[in-house]
Amino acid sequence: MGRAPGPGHAAVDGASVPRLGQVLVAGRIHGGSGLPAGTTRRHPTWGLTFVAAGTGRYRDASHDEPMGPGTLVLVHPGHPHWYGADRGGWDELFVVFDGPVFELARRRGALSPERPLVHGLPVTRWSHRLARFVEGGRPATVEGRDGEAVALLSTLLEAIEYAVTPRRPRPADEMGWLDHSLVRLGSDLGETLDLRAVAAEVGMAYETWRRRFRAETGVSPYALRAARRLEAATELLAHTGLGVRDIAAATGFSDERHLIRRFRERTGATPSAFRDGGG
């Protein structure tokens, strides 16, 4: 047997390759409860939970704080903690990750167990920011996993900066353009959507809207709508008996082959294999 890969390395095709980090698993939970009441947990890896709806509480040796929509919990490896939802549960996005890039950020003080919570993140836009790590499969290459880890670290640092940076009050119409855009991009997925018309609806020139949308969400309007279509197709595959051709038509793919190709790119499996394997 060969020597096991050391810290910060991955065994790929029989070789030990340097690695910055990787997302291990990510997902959504609706009506979740968090950790069992009365327990204390030490995770061996990093993790985050973003509360999209509902309320709860976080506790560790130095903190006892409420959680609500827009709260992000950052779990450090080995740090004893507990968090849980109030009665009725909460909706969350979670990401489990690890790697030297996050340890470096901790050593330099950019991430600290003394600051485990970020409050006040706008729910809609940060749910979409984090959804990029939840949807689809993990990258197949070391370079792809490195890139995803760096993108996640950047997103975490942006969330921390957003929460601590004073912001001028914005008029309601200015604050509402992004929510309107997100709703339009995620609706009527089986229909053709004129992106320039959406920009006009929120009173912006197309290039201005596209640039501001990408700055706020981390993806282009086109990419977000494509991700919503793939997410909807995945839900239909998992929870209905519709055929792949009908699912493609219902979610806006040009044909069955288009859906199969995009689904395989994101998950590494065909829609049929995904359904046969139970997701």
What was the pLDDT predicted at 167? Answer: 53
Q: Do 34 and 101 fall within a single domain?
A: yes
Rounded distance between C-alpha atoms, residue 130 and residue 180, angstroms: 19
Q: Burial-class residue 64 by CB neighbours within 10 Å (0-12, 13-18, 19+).
A: exposed
* C-alpha dist (Å) from residue 99 to 139, 146, 152, 228: 15, 9, 11, 29
The yes-or-no verdict on residue 240 having pLDDT over 50 is yes
Q: How confident is the model at residue 136 (pLDDT cuts 50, 70, 90)?
A: low
Does 41 fall in a domain?
A: yes
Most confident segment among 108-112, 261-265, 272-276: 108-112
Among 164, 192, 218, identify where a domain stops: 164
Is residue 173 predicted with pLDDT exceeding 70? no
**Confidence label for 186 from pLDDT (cuts 50, 70 and 90):** confident
Residues 75 and 128 in one domain: yes
pLDDT for the residue 13: 39
Domain that holds residue 267: 168-279
Q: Are residues 144 and 203 in the same domain?
A: no
Name the helix (H) or strand (E) containing 98: strand 90-98
* pLDDT for the residue numbered 1: 32
Identify which of 45-59, 113-127, 178-192, 241-255 has the greatest average pLDDT. Answer: 45-59
Task: Answer whether residue 3 is part of any domain.
Answer: no
pLDDT at position 135 is 77
Is 4 part of any domain? no
- Give the pLDDT band of residue 129 (cuts 50, 70, 90): confident
Q: 110, 136, 164: which is the final residue of a domain?
A: 164
User: What whole-number distance in Å separates Cα of residue 149 and Cα of residue 260?
Assistant: 27
Q: Which residues of 39-53 are buried (b: 16+ CB within 10 A; e: fewer)?
A: eeeeeeebbbbbbbb
**In total, how many domains does the chain have?**
2
**271 and 160 in a common domain:** no
- What's the DSSP call for residue 87? T
pLDDT number for residue 210: 92
Task: Read off the pLDDT band of 192 (50, 70, 90).
Answer: confident
C-beta contacts of 207-216 below 8 A and 24+ residues apart: 209/177, 209/181, 212/177, 213/178, 213/181, 216/125, 216/178
